[in-house]
Homo-oligomer: A and B are copies of this chain.
Amino acid sequence: MCRWLAYSGSPVSIETLLFKPEHSLIDQSLHSKLGAETTNGDGFGIGWYGAAATPGVYRSTEPAWNDRNLRDLSAHIESPLVFAHIRAAIGSVVQATNCHPFRHERWLFMHNGFIGEFEKVKRDLVLAVDPSLYPSIEGSSDTEVLFHLALTFGLEDDPPAAVATAVGLVEQIGEKHGVEHPIQMTVATTNGESVWAFRYSSQRDSRSLFYSTDLPTLRALHPEVEILNLLSQESRLIVSEPVRDLAGAWNEVPESSYGVVQEGQDELRPFTPKAPAMAVPAGV
């Protein structure tokens, strides 16, 4: 599928996150260990928060390992909140509008996994997107539709509830069409302040997802790793697969759970899809 990384914490150069670690995301674009595919070469994207009102997004259809602009931009852009995604396309065409992260105003959204038999359920799902949001769908990927469903169901107000409803709808419509496994996902979304990360699949056998151990513990475990001393106490990474082999550094997000990285105490909670109360649109 894909690999992704979400970082929140002290401002760092994107290069530090993307290129410098041993088994970095860029390395994973050629040699993923835990992914469904070892190669994630069907485009990539980064999103970050800075001075402007909305987050910056840079997406390209080239393999991430190739892109010279990515290398340069990564060295020059610092940010306290970064999303990065490398894509292994399954079905939908390789074009920038299918690359993650997707953006809506202050929000970013990215995904590893798929909506099962998307061509069967796409129309019904798109019909459930709020008509005012519909025109901003530009590509043809399942994730962009999932994002717009989450926005439709209130992502900006209550992200866990909105994602639960969106996923519930995907399962409901999938079942209606006889799709065996309607959804497989790890998803991250952010408003520039908090980050929500979800791990779920209809078959309860979800793609891997890890979060980094809290900084004070990590520093105590690895006093020799310099970068740990440069980051603030609240800095946190969430990743599809570990980017550096550091004992005690990585904790698996449990099956059917979500985490919140936020000011104050981070949280880890169970995730249960919940089909929307609203009637499915007429004619579906």
Contact = CB atoms under 8 A, between A and B. Distances in A.
Interface of A: 13, 30, 38-39, 41-42, 48, 50-52, 56-63, 66, 68-69, 72-73, 75-78, 89, 92-97, 118-120, 122-123, 126-127, 131, 134-135, 137-140, 281-283
A68 B39 contact: no
Contacts of A68: 59, 93, 96
A46 to B, nearest CB: 10
Contacts of A52: 13, 75-76
A131 B123 CA distance: 7
A282 B51 CA distance: 45
Contacts of A50: 76
Q: How many copies does the complex hold?
A: 4
A38 B29 CA distance: 12
A140 B60 contact: no
A206 to B, nearest CB: 24
A57 to B, nearest CB: 6
Given A42-B63, A63-B63, A282-B282, 13 more contacts: A38-B39, A39-B39, A52-B76, A56-B73, A56-B76, A58-B73, A62-B62, A66-B89, A93-B97, A95-B95, A97-B140, A127-B127, A281-B283
Nearest to A137: B140
B76 A69 contact: no
A66 B41 CA distance: 9
Contacts of A60: 69
Interface centre among A38, A41, A127 (most CB of B within 10 A): A41
